[in-house]
Amino acid sequence: MLKRTIAIIIGVSISSIVMAADMKSRIQEWQTDEGARVLFIEAPEIPMVDLIISMDAGSFREGKNYGLASMTSQMMTLGTKDKDENEFSEALENLGSAISISSGVTNTAIKVRSLTDDTVLNSTLSLWREMVQEPRFDAEIFHRERTQSIDAQKARLDSPDAIASETFSTLLYPNQIQGVTSEMLQTSLKKMKIEELKQFRDDYYHATGANIIIVGALDRTAAEKISTGISEVLGKGKALSKIEEKVEKVKPQTVRKYFNSPQSRIVMGHVSIDRFSPDYWPLLLGNHVLGGSGLTSLLMMDIREKQGLTYGIYSYFAPSFLHGPFTIGLSTKNESVDHAIKATIEGTKDFIKNGPKDTDLDRAKNNLIGSSILSLSSNSGLAGALLMIAQYDLPLDYYDTYPETIRAITKEEIQKAFQKHVHPDDFVTVIVGGEAP
C-alpha cells in the first residue's frame, strides 16, 4: 500500500511538472465576434470542464453606490424567470454541476463546472444561459439578501481583526473604493433598489472586453462552440475606460482603537506596488522569506520563536490593477504592543538592509516553484492560471518561464526592491484592543 501511494504521488508530481513546463504549447487562443478573449486548454485526463467568464463589472464600476457589484452577482444565482432559487439550485445539483459568481474590486467572475457528457454539459449551459438572460431578481429575495448583507457588515464590527483591517484600508485609501467602510456599505445598501441591480447587469455583464477561460476534456471545435454561445448570450457592450486610480500620499501615523480583549490586533504598512511593477518578482520572493512562508519566515522565527511576542505574524504584498498595500499583521498581549511593534519594525529594517541569507533564499525559491507546479495540477488550477494570464495580459509562456524567473532573482535585487518600495518609518499602524483611555 505504501509503495502504491508513493508511486501515485510521484506520478502526480511528474504529470504536474510536465503540465507546468509546457503550458504555452497547450494554450489555444481566439476572440469572439462580440470582443471576448478566449483561452482554452484541452485536458482529457478527467471528463470535466471548468469555465470562467470574467467581466469588467467589479466594484470599481459602481461609483458611490457601494455594494452594488457584489449584490448584483449575489442575486444572479437566486432563481430565473422559470425557476425559483430552490428549483435552480436543485437542477444544478441533479446534474452534479456548479455555477457560482463572485465580485471583486476590478472584475466579476462567473465559474461553471460540469461533466463533459453531452446531456449534462448542454443542460448546465442551458441553466447558465437562463440565469444570465433572465435572472429572477425577486423583490422579496432581494430584501432578504440585502438585510443579511447589512447584518454581516454590522457583525464585522464585533471582530478586532475586521476593525483593524478596515481602519487600515480607510487610512491608506482615503476617498477610494478600497477604503470603503462597513458603515458606508450599510448606508448604501439601505438605499439600494432592485432596479439598480438590473441596470448594473445590463451595463457591465457583456462580452466586449471579457475573458472566457475553458479547461477540460473538450476538443477545439467543442470549445469554440461553447465560447461562441457564451459570447452571444452576453452580447456586445460599450468599451469601458481603463481602470485608473489616484494614489494619495499618506502620512505615517499610529491609530489606536479600544476593544475589550486581553490581546491587541496590530496591522501596519503602506501603499506599495501594482501588478505591473518591474520589481514585482523580487518583492514577492523577498517577502516569502520575510513574512510570507508561515513558520519558517524570518518574522515568525524572530517575533514568535525567539521573543515569544505572538502566536503568528505575517507579511504580504497585494498588487492588482491598483496599487495594493504592503502589510504586516500580528496579535500580541496588550502589555506587549509597543515592544512587538518596535521588534517587528527593527526586524523589517534589518531585512531591508542585509537582505535574505542564501539558505533562506534557496528555500523560498524551491517553495514558490513547487507551489506553482502543484497549483497547475488540476483543471481549476489551470483555469485560474489562464485567467491570470488573460486579465493582466501576460505572455502565454508566463508559467513556463516562472521557475527560471524565480531562480534568476538575486539577493541584491531583493535588497534594492525592498529599499525602493518598503519604508518602515512611513508605516501606518493600527492597534485594536487594550484598555479604554
- pLDDT for 288 equals 97
The pTM of the full predicted model, rounded to 2 decimals, is: 0.91
- pLDDT for 242 equals 83
Q: What are phi and psi of 173, to 5 degrees?
A: -125, 65
- pLDDT for 22 equals 83
pLDDT digits (tens, 9 = 90+) for 1-23: 444 334 433 444 444 444 445 89
Is the CB of residue 431 less than 8 Å from the CB of residue 264? Answer: yes
Is the CB of residue 352 less than 8 Å from the CB of residue 418? Answer: yes
pLDDT digits (tens, 9 = 90+) for 171-201: 999 988 899 999 999 999 999 999 999 999 9
Query: Within 13 Å and on the Cβ side, how many CA atoms surround 82?
Result: 9
- pLDDT for 21 equals 52
- pLDDT for 175 equals 85
DSSP string, 296-320: GSHHIIIIIIIT---S-EEEEE--S
Domains of the chain: 24-234 (3.30.830.10), 253-432 (3.30.830.10)
pLDDT digits (tens, 9 = 90+) for 268-316: 999 999 999 999 999 999 999 999 998 899 999 999 999 999 999 999 9
Q: What's the CA gap between 102 and 110, in Å, rounded?
A: 7
User: Which residues of the chain are modeled with pLDDT < 70?
Assistant: 1-21, 436-437
- pLDDT for 50 equals 97
Query: Considering just the CA atoms, what is the radius of gyration of the chain in Å?
Result: 24
